[in-house]
Structure 1
Amino acid sequence: MRRRRGHSGPGSAAAAALTTLALAAGVAGCGTAPGPDPADVTGSITWWDTSGPTEAPAVHRLVAEFEKEHPGIDVSYVNVDFFEAQQKYRDAVRDGGEVPDVLRADVGWMAGFVQDGLLADLTGTPAVPEPEGFLETTTASVVYDGRTFGAPQVTDPLALLYNKELFAEAGLTRPPDTWEALRDAALEIKEVTGVDGVALNTDPYYALPFLYGEGSDLLDPDRSRITIADEASVRAATTAAELVTSGAARKPPAEDAYGAMQSAFRSGEVAMILDGPWATTGIFEGEAFTDRANLGIAPIPAGSTGERGSPTGGHNLVVSAGTRYPEAAQLFVGFMTAAEQQERLALELGLLPTRKAAYTRAVLSDPVRNSFYFASTKCVPRLSVPEGAELFARFGPRWEAVLRGDEPPAKALSETAYDWQSSLLPGWSVTR
């Protein structure tokens, strides 16, 4: 997941993060202000949707239903590549290009967009009716200074996915609940079956479960400290690196580690991966999972502290600050993030809703969604800082170097910390 950043000086990230987390619960107190009759609202809006190829057709059908329900509103649907959308959006704003009225924004983009004034305030609008109905873990990325700048559409916790048949063949009866147990299980699977135990993704987002398991994080915004190189973080990175050096995990390729991980898991060439609910549609197309019951889903393993945590990923629908048709854009966001639509996408695509009411009996009757919902109870709210996008972008090559054995964990994390300090977070201290 790629990210960009914004910065307004030392301490700005801390203020944003603290305000977001402290006031997320306060979104429940914001009612919907009186507005025009929806039947009277007209306008032509453009929506940039970053859904993947397996999701986009179903989402597009919902757009057609919205237009049927609101004949005065025309929606121009544009599917934009997720990895290009953030910069494309910023470029359009900067260059005076065609800025979409509505954007599907990764939660990691939000703080920078809000700081730079790119998003409309949706507090009390039809875009977020009944805001108290969202899962508490999803609102941290949309509330700033008590104002709401987006509507959570989907949440994406990471979980441990495993091949039950390979586990049984190796004599394993349950998924590992610690990183140490995962290493041992992976080595046992490899010895008995000849199949690699686990594959890792080199994207730095996937480093967070290792950090959380050691009680660490990228930053400590409360004290304006960079913690990526502290003792706990080095211990976390060492744990991940040793999965590869021990032979428990296959060495990630230098190119498209995520694609390689997915392909190996689908075909039964590897027994375990870390991934989210968005991946299950493709997994069930793989030869190893023609029997859907073969897919096991468990919470992220715990670190040496006994704690475990999955980062709260996901996407929000936001409205551009300069939209010419705010009422139309608000109605569209409200429709697309309503519990009814979220339930439908969950049933069709396996996505995890952000609305509590979308967790109906039908949604939770599916073992996959039920397992991910349970995994989401172990979620840790990600630090919502304007610099977050660039922090990950700069961390990425070094995290890849750690997993590929090209650089010692302590050195890679120290270089990351001082790079952040010199270029993104001047005035912050580095904790070692």
Structure 2
Amino acid sequence: MGLNKRLWRLTRKNSLELSSMVRLAGRRKCPELFGLTVIFAAVAGINVAQAEPLSLSGGLNSRFSDNVALTPSDESSDVETRVNLTLAHQTDPGKCEARTAANVGYGVWYDDTFDPQDYASLDFAGDCELARGLSWEVSDNLRDVTQNSRASDTPNNRTRKNVFRTGPVYSLMLGQLDQLTFSAKYGNTDYSEPEDTDSERYIGTASWNHIFSQTLSGGLQVSTNQAELDTGVEIDTDVASLFFSKSWQATRFSGSIGVSQLESRFGGNTQSSQGVVGNFSFERDINPVTQVYVRGSRELTDQTSDFDIRFGDVVFNLRETTAVEVTALDAGFTRQFSDASRINVGIFANRSDYLDTDEVEDSVGFSVNYNRTISELLSLQTGGSYRYRTFDADGVNDSTYRADIGLVYELTNDLSVNGRVGHTTKTSDLSSSEYQENWISLGLAYQFF
């Protein structure tokens, strides 16, 4: 199945059904249909495989905001009521496996500040063994993302991004310690808003991996990525890198380092960029109740890639339709206390350098979340975050502070009620970008099965 085998796979029959549905969704350029197609296909595959039951939960939530449009003046208040469903499933091990996590919702505003909104997110990954050493992989990621990274995060500044990839992977063992892996993938990125740039891409990868010991492996990988944006821009990216993976009793460390060349073409003009690229991931169990992690990545890519999905703190400016050199770093720790409380602390830093326009956006920040069980039925949840951003094109800086606190009460084993209050402040060198917001939410959550 290959060293990077996905966590789930589809049966051959359902793979064919999925392929035909995906082609239909792709032709219609509809991310919502695209994502729902994958969900339905996953459920079909699950039924055939007779896997464990799905996990399905639902909720109803109302949120009041005293500045729902996030404006610096003339603030208006409104209430959004949202209903949502959350699905999670992982199939049993077998020749075909699948893992699905999806959420869909629908919200309306009492005073019609915004049009009714539908919400969706999806993480879907899987593969199916076609023959010895040969498998077919499918993945799909769906997110609501910001269009203009400089503007406030309101419904009018969001679009739905769907990143789909599929293709065969072939692995060949050379003795007991060496493995060759070849893959060919087709990728498609669609945005729900017509003004945003969609793309198609073809990705070819070849790698050699050697097992040096029970805890150390490494090798060489080369890849080519040919993307065509619907604006007519073509972006070719070639990468050659060395990679490794090392583990100890309580520590795991892996990564790669290499060189990349990116060439973009449009209207007879060609621009090339080269650079050192790579990634790493470090995880350590300090003790049974404390874990820390550090990870980072640097790539030459474009906004239609899945980089912002892999690093959620990266926000692309979709108004830029050029290639981008993006660097991201995040770190954090989690600790569980003896009183059943739990704390998560994370820090991040990232840079987006738009190569054709020489515009650079930097962002740094941190987040803290603390949960504590007050009684058998009542729990406390608190959170806070800070983000500082700079835009070197015009020297504008801004800072965003967020804090909230809430309670969750278990009415029954399956039904809970929750309440939360929060505050957000954004300061900026541009007065038009500043705002303050206070909000409060009340909701019900039910676990169906």
TM range (shorter): under 0.3
The structure whose RCO (Cα within 8 Å, separation 6+) is larger is 1
Bigger Cα Rg: 2
Normalised to the residue count of structure 2, the TM-score between the two structures is 0.19
Greater fraction strand: 2
Greater fraction helix: 1
Normalised to the residue count of structure 1, the TM-score between the two structures is 0.20
